[in-house]
């Protein structure tokens, strides 16, 4: 019983569609095939299995060439799941090679009576590709009703979710073309089925009884097919529900009456075909029809159109003061948004109004303005008071009536002095007044003004202002030039005199010591004054000082010099600092010492009898002698002791002065100091045990050394190393050229004196620093490395110093090329060379066209210059290594001669003279070309030339010369000449006076007339065409000597013209002028 229920559930979920195609038509009776589905079982809620048998009646063998079947499932039974099918191995009674396939193929959806079904089929009994061919016959395993035939196989149907029992699916299939099959419809069934198919087949139905147990036998039945067509009318208004549909039925199962279901509602009757349904709202609808045949059609869908929303319209209006809306007849006086619900046609309609109400303008304004007023209402400017009106439109386009009551204020100001300024720097009273405008005024009255220009502003009651300026002068200031003589020797004997100027010019004098007059005497050294007063009682006081040149000199300071001396020693210098007020010095020497001086320094010689003693010195002036200073000089018998350690800063920073010293060495008479290092210099103290050293900004490394000495000899040198910024000249230890993509290259420098405990390494140009220590680093070079910089920065308290090293992937550019550069025409066997380039393994040379390399030894080549090399070119060389090629180094060569030496000769020749010019002979030159700009006749003679300047046209000229050989001319050498047109030889005077020239000629828009005159004169100049017609005339005056008259021709037509010159009524000259 449980099996029956399971079979019932399964039977409602599947039906079988069978189609058997014949590969060939038998001449015997048409065979009938029986397809039986049995042994159904539901192994789980999602899995169903069944066996499929095939029996051929009337013949023993089965023909399987085009056999195929299909399975159809109601999607509602599938419960929305995903369906798969496969063959269960080991159940087929067909030969093994026909059942090796495992998956049923082909999957699609179809719709029957509005129910969606899932259909999949298997070709050739679910055999794999390459199954039985046409006409293949397989013997039946068994025959007869009790045996369903040959088992094709067991099939397993699996759904992704549990099946649900509810089925009304139908399915149709079509046979292949030419297989003589017609469509067959199989209805849903209960129980297993037994299908008999004959060829040709007709439409088949089924019954619940058959010739075999549990089989359903399909028999011929009347076909049933109905089709629905619809036509619709839309809603007339939104939500009016007055749409309609006309339904027309067609097909083999059509009838003129029956029932229909609209949108799934209960079925209702129709009595005609077609029939119409009314009162429908807009939107999508469905209809299903059941005819009396009986046949079912649908459900089919149709759409009723109509408005998607109520109709509305919007009107935008601008009006003045008010607006009456035609939609509702209401009048509005304020802006806003208004709505009115009415009808348009026969449908409801919403009218919207966007209203802007603008106001008319009626205004009166009263204004008081200064000088003028522009009324914004009409843009008119008014200069006088009055009442004005204007009628027009305002900014909103509404009526405008405006009235202006205008008062114009025109105030003026004045300023005048009440008295003149008497003394320089004084002031006077000025009266400031106002008139016009509207009283009262501010800014008027009496004010004080100094010399100069002042501006006064007055304002009336309307706030209008006016200004007046007043300029006042004053007498010049009293000034004085004082001359003084100093008081001498502390006595009041100084004098003073004055030259006064300015003021009224008449003066009286009052000196601070009571004297009057333009000079005074008896002044002691110090500050004094003089007051000068003119006859306008204006006075000025002038302070002055009287210097003191008297008094004995100050005491002499300590004597500096050698602490001892040797007998028979000379040239020893002793000195004291300059003594204030001393004009000379008196030196006192011990026995055996000679020397003389009147200055603060003396050079002494110590004779053989010198046994020691004191030297003394005192300052002297006209007032007497000052206090002496003395110094003991013992006789020396041995050289100085070795110097002690030098005291001072070992890390001096730039921009400061430092003291360095040693303890005095016994018996030392002097000390010799030396300093090294850029920026270090001795400021003072040379010869003593202490010096001042200036350290300039940027100072790096250096030394300070000292050596004591006396007349017996010198001691050892003591040296102190000093470091400012830790600069250095260390080389970079490591390869200067590295190929791209190389890793782990180590570089280092020597230790840097004065540097702190660490150095900073940096790199650029695809160089990566892998690791570093104070004086070394390890580098990797990127794949694109060509050239980069490795920098190391050393630092201390004075600053830092960065040393940069260039690393390349290719060799460095070669240095300068050595060899001949000029006059190479036809030469051969010339050598060109460079210095060796580090890391280079080869060199590549190139020479210009026409030249050839006859030998190449790497850093040098030998070149022959053939006949085709006649100009200039480049000899280039590059260095090569495994990383590539360096930049080219090029050297310019020329087949032609070199530029000539400086041109010698007179740079300022007279126009009437003939001068000689020359150059040094040019090596290889076969000829010389001389040229002079601006006229002049040249007679060339090789490296020299003679020039007659009488035909020169301008004072500035350029003389040039070029040397030539068989290959061409060399560069041009030039000399600037200034030709003196005013100097003449007497023999040329008459010729020059009568010579008139035009330049340029032919001319364009202007030309110049040049001539000499030996006296001043007046000329008439007349220009005519060749027919004698006067074009223009003018007069001009000449000066003695060279005259130049510029003639403007304007846009005169091109052609030939005559220029007539006349002086004092006589014919002067007639010149021909060509205008281009």
The DSSP line for 397-432 is SSEEEEEEEEEEE-EEEEEEESS---STT-EEEEEE
Asked if 626 contacts 553 with a C-beta cutoff of 8 angstroms, the reply is yes
Going by pLDDT thresholds of 50, 70 and 90, the confidence category of residue 1030 is confident
Could you report the per-residue pLDDT of 684-709, keeping only the tens digit for each?
999 888 999 999 988 988 999 999 98
Going by pLDDT thresholds of 50, 70 and 90, the confidence category of residue 984 is low
Residue among 727, 750, 751 at smallest CA distance from 677: 727
Three-state SS at 983: coil
The predicted pLDDT at position 192 comes to: 33
The predicted pLDDT at position 54 comes to: 65
Q: Examine the pLDDT at 5 and tell me if it is beyond 80.
A: no
The predicted pLDDT at position 80 comes to: 63
Could you report the per-residue pLDDT of 282-316, keeping only the tens digit for each?
999 999 888 876 667 777 889 998 888 888 889 99
Using CA atoms, how far apart are residues 761 and 774, in angstroms rounded to an integer?
9
Asked if 186 contacts 209 with a C-beta cutoff of 8 angstroms, the reply is no
Three-state SS at 101: coil
The predicted pLDDT at position 462 comes to: 86
Three-state SS at 824: coil
The predicted pLDDT at position 452 comes to: 92
Using CA atoms, how far apart are residues 993 and 1013, in angstroms rounded to an integer?
5
Phi, psi of 341 (to 5 degrees): -95, 115
Please spell the DSSP secondary structure of 495-563, one letter per residue.
EEEEEEESTTS-EEEEETTS--SSEEEEEPSEEEEEEEEETTS-EEEEEEEE-B--SPPPPP---BS-S
Higher-pLDDT residue of 681 and 50 is: 681
Could you report the per-residue pLDDT of 844-891, keeping only the tens digit for each?
999 999 999 999 999 999 999 999 999 999 999 999 988 888 889 999
Determine how many CB atoms are found less than 10 A away from the CB of residue 373.
Answer: 20
The count of residues in the chain is 1076
Using CA atoms, how far apart are residues 726 and 752, in angstroms rounded to an integer?
7
| Region 133-148 average pLDDT | 45
User: Residue 236 is encoded by which pair of tokens?
Assistant: 């007339």
Q: How many CA atoms lie within 13 A of 61 on its CB side?
A: 9
Query: ∠ CA 287-292-293 to the nearest 5 degrees?
Result: 110
- List, in order, residues 6 or more apart from 329 with CB less than 8 Å away: none
Of 204-218, 511-525, 879-893, the range with the lowest mean pLDDT is: 204-218
Q: What is the pTM of this model?
A: 0.31
Q: Name all contacts of 205-211 with Cβ < 8 Å and 24+ positions apart.
A: 211/145
Q: Which residue has the tokens 């202002």?
A: 465
The predicted pLDDT at position 310 comes to: 87
The predicted pLDDT at position 20 comes to: 30
The predicted pLDDT at position 309 comes to: 85
Higher-pLDDT residue of 661 and 212 is: 661
- List, in order, residues 6 or more apart from 978 with CB less than 8 Å away: 907, 908, 955, 956
Using CA atoms, how far apart are residues 700 and 651, in angstroms rounded to an integer?
9
Determine how many CB atoms are found less than 10 A away from the CB of residue 15.
Answer: 25
Pairing of strands 399-409, 361-370: parallel
Using CA atoms, how far apart are residues 953 and 950, in angstroms rounded to an integer?
9
What mean pLDDT is reported for the chain? 79
- List, in order, residues 6 or more apart from 1067 with CB less than 8 Å away: 1060
Asked if 848 contacts 832 with a C-beta cutoff of 8 angstroms, the reply is no
Q: Examine the pLDDT at 456 and tell me if it is beyond 50.
A: yes
Using CA atoms, how far apart are residues 109 and 122, in angstroms rounded to an integer?
15
Using CA atoms, how far apart are residues 189 and 199, in angstroms rounded to an integer?
24
Using CA atoms, how far apart are residues 541 and 478, in angstroms rounded to an integer?
9
| Region 408-421 average pLDDT | 91
Three-state SS at 950: helix
Asked if 83 contacts 73 with a C-beta cutoff of 8 angstroms, the reply is yes
Query: ∠ CA 684-685-688 to the nearest 5 degrees?
Result: 170
DSSP element (H, E) containing 1043: strand 1041-1048
User: Residue 393 is encoded by which pair of tokens?
Assistant: 């439109």
Going by pLDDT thresholds of 50, 70 and 90, the confidence category of residue 199 is very low
The predicted pLDDT at position 106 comes to: 44
DSSP, res 635: B
Pairing of strands 519-523, 494-501: antiparallel
Q: Which residue has the tokens 């460095």?
A: 812
For the chain, what is the radius of gyration of the CA atoms? 66
Going by pLDDT thresholds of 50, 70 and 90, the confidence category of residue 124 is very low
The predicted pLDDT at position 134 comes to: 36
Residue among 219, 218, 203, 197 at smallest CA distance from 253: 203
Asked if 907 contacts 975 with a C-beta cutoff of 8 angstroms, the reply is yes
What distances in angstroms separate CA 230 from CA 257, 290, 376, 465, one per listed residue?
A: 16, 16, 75, 95
Could you report the per-residue pLDDT of 758-796, keeping only the tens digit for each?
789 999 989 999 999 988 999 999 988 888 999 999 888
Q: Examine the pLDDT at 101 and tell me if it is beyond 90.
A: no
Query: ∠ CA 32-35-37 to the nearest 5 degrees?
Result: 165
Residue among 914, 917, 887, 890 at smallest CA distance from 901: 917
Could you report the per-residue pLDDT of 465-515, keeping only the tens digit for each?
999 999 999 999 999 999 998 888 778 888 999 999 988 889 999 999 999
Asked if 431 contacts 446 with a C-beta cutoff of 8 angstroms, the reply is yes
Q: What percent of the chain has pLDDT over 90?
A: 34
Please report which residue ranges of 408-493 form alpha helices under DSSP H: none
Pairing of strands 1006-1013, 996-999: antiparallel
The predicted pLDDT at position 981 comes to: 78
Torsion of CA 287, 288, 289, 295, to 10 degrees: 150
Of 155-169, 388-402, 1019-1033, the range with the lowest mean pLDDT is: 155-169
| Region 584-603 average pLDDT | 94
User: Residue 715 is encoded by which pair of tokens?
Assistant: 């001691």
Cis peptide before 560 (omega within 30 of 0): no
The predicted pLDDT at position 298 comes to: 75
Could you report the per-residue pLDDT of 1051-1076, keeping only the tens digit for each?
888 888 888 887 754 546 788 888 88
The predicted pLDDT at position 184 comes to: 33
Distance of CA 696 to the CA centre of its chain: 40
User: Residue 25 is encoded by which pair of tokens?
Assistant: 């038509």
- List, in order, residues 6 or more apart from 5 with CB less than 8 Å away: none
Query: Sign of the CA dihedral 556, 557, 561, 562?
Result: positive
Residue among 74, 67, 73 at smallest CA distance from 35: 67
Using CA atoms, how far apart are residues 24 and 615, in angstroms rounded to an integer?
158
Of 29-33, 34-38, 264-268, 339-343, the range with the lowest mean pLDDT is: 29-33
Query: Sign of the CA dihedral 549, 552, 554, 558?
Result: positive
The predicted pLDDT at position 2 comes to: 25
């Amino acid at each position: 019983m449980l099996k029956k229920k399971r079979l019932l559930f399964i039977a409602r979920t599947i039906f079988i569609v069978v189609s058997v195609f014949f590969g060939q038509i038998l001449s015997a009776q048409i065979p009938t095939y029986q397809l039986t589905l049995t042994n159904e079982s539901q192994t789980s809620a999602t899995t169903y299995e069944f066996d499929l048998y095939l029996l051929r009646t009337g013949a023993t063998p089965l023909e399987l060439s085009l056999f195929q079947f299909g399975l159809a499932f109601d999607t509602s039974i599938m419960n929305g799941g995903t369906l798969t099918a496969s063959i269960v191995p080991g159940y087929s009674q067909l030969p093994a090679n026909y059942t090796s396939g495992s998956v049923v193929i082909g999957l699609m959806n179809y719709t029957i009576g509005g129910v969606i079904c899932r259909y999949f089929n298997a070709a050739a009994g679910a055999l794999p590709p390459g199954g039985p061919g046409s006409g293949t016959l397989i013997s039946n395993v068994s025959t007869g009703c009790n045996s369903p035939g040959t088992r094709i196989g067991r099939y397993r149907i699996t759904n992704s979710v549990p099946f649900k029992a509810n089925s009304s699916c139908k399915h149709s299939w079509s046979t292949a073309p030419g297989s003589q099959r017609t469509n067959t419809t199989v209805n849903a069934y209960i129980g297993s089925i037994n299908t008999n198919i004959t060829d040709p087949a007709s439409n088949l139905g089924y019954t619940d009884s058959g010739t075999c147990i549990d089989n359903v036998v399909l028999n011929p039945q009347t076909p049933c097919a109905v089709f629905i067509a619809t036509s619709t009318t839309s809603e007339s208004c939104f939500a009016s529900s007055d749409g309609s549909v006309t339904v027309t039925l067609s097909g083999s199962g059509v009838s003129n009456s029956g029932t229909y279901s609209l949108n799934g509602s209960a079925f209702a009757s129709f009595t005609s075909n077609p029939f119409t349904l009314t009162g429908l709202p807009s939107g999508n609808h469905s209809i299903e029809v059941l005819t009396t045949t009986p046949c079912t059609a649908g459900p089919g869908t149709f759409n009723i159109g109509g408005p998607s929303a109520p109709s509305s319209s919007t009107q935008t209006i601008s009006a003045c003061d008010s607006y009456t809306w035609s939609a509702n007849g209401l009048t509005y006086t304020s802006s806003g948004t208004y709505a009115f619900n009415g009808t348009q046609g026969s449908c409801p309609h919403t009218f919207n109004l966007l209203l802007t109400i603008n106001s008319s303008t009626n205004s009166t304004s009263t204004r008081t303005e200064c000088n003028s007023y522009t009324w914004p209402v009409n843009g008119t400017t008014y200069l006088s008071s009055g009442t004005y009106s204007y009628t027009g439109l305002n900014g909103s386009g509404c009526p405008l009536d405006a009235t202006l009551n205008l008062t114009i204020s025109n105030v003026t100001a004045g300023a005048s002095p009440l008295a003149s300024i008497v003394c320089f720097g004084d002031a006077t009273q000025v009266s400031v007044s106002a008139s016009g405008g509207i009283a009262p005024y501010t800014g008027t009255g009496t004010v004080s003004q100094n010399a100069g220009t002042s501006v006064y502003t007055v304002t009336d009651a309307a706030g209008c202002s006016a200004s007046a300026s007043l300029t006042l002068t004053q007498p010049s200031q009293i000034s004085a030039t004082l001359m003084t003589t100093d008081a001498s020797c502390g006595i009041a004997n100084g004098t003073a005199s004055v030259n006064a100027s300015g003021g009224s010019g008449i003066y009286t004098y009052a000196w601070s010591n009571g004297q009057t007059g333009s000079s005074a005497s008896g002044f002691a050294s110090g500050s004094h004054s003089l007051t000068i007063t003119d006859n306008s009682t204006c006075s000025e006081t002038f302070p002055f000082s009287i210097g003191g040149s008297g008094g004995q000199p100050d005491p002499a300071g300590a004597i500096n010099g050698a602490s001892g001396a040797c007998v028979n020693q000379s040239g020893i210098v002793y000195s004291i600092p300059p003594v204030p007020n001393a004009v000379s010095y008196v030196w006192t020497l011990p026995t055996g010492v000679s020397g003389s001086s009147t200055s603060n320094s003396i050079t002494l010689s110590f004779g053989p009898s010198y046994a020691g003693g004191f030297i003394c010195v005192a300052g002297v002036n006209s007032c007497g002698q000052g206090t002496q200073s003395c110094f003991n000089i013992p006789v020396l018998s041995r050289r100085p002791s070795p110097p002690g350690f030098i005291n001072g800063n070992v890390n001096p920073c730039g921009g400061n002065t430092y003291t360095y010293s040693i303890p005095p060495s016994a018996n030392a008479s002097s000390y010799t100091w030396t300093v090294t290092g850029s920026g270090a210099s001795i400021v003072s103290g040379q010869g003593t045990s202490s010096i001042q050293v200036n350290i300039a900004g940027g100072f790096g490394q250096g030394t300070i050394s000292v050596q004591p000495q006396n007349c017996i000899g010198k001691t050892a040198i003591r040296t102190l190393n000093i470091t400012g910024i830790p600069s250095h000249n260390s080389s970079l230890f490591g390869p200067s050229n590295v190929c791209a993509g190389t890793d782990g290259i180590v570089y280092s420098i020597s230790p840097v004196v004065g540097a702190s405990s660490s150095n900073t390494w940096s790199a650029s140009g695809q160089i990566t620093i892998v690791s570093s220590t104070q004086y070394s680093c390890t580098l990797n070079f990127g794949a694109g490395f060509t050239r980069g910089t490795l920098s190391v920065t050393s630092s201390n308290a004075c600053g830092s110093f960065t040393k940069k090293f260039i690393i390349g992937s290719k060799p460095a550019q070669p240095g300068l090329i050595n060899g001949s550069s000029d006059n190479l025409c036809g030469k051969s066997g010339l050598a060109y060379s460079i210095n060796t380039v580090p890391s280079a393994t080869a060199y590549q040379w190139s020479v210009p066209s026409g030249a050839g390399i006859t030998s190449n030894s790497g850093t040098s080549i030998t070149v022959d210059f053939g006949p085709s090399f006649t100009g200039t070119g480049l000899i280039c060389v590059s260095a090569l290594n495994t990383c590539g090629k360096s930049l080219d180094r090029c050297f310019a060569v020329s087949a032609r001669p070199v530029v000539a030496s400086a041109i010698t000769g007179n740079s300022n020749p007279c126009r009437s003279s003939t001068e000689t010019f020359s150059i040094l002979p040019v090596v290889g030159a076969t000829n010389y070309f001389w040229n002079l700009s601006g006229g002049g006749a040249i007679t060339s003679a090789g490296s020299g030339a003679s020039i007659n300047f009488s035909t020169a046209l301008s004072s500035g000229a350029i003389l040039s010369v070029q040397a030539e050989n068989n290959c061409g001319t060399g560069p041009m050498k030039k000399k600037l000449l200034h030709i003196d047109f005013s100097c003449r030889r007497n023999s040329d005077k008459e010729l020059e006076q009568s010579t008139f020239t035009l330049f340029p000629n032919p001319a364009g828009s202007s030309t110049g007339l040049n001539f000499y005159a030996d006296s001043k004169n007046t000329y008439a100049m007349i220009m005519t065409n060749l027919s004698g017609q006067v074009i223009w005339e003018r007069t001009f005056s000449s000066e003695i000597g060279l005259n130049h008259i510029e003639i403007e021709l304007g846009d005169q037509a091109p052609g030939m013209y005559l220029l007539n010159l006349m002086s004092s009524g006589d014919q002067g000259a007639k010149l021909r002028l060509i205008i281009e």
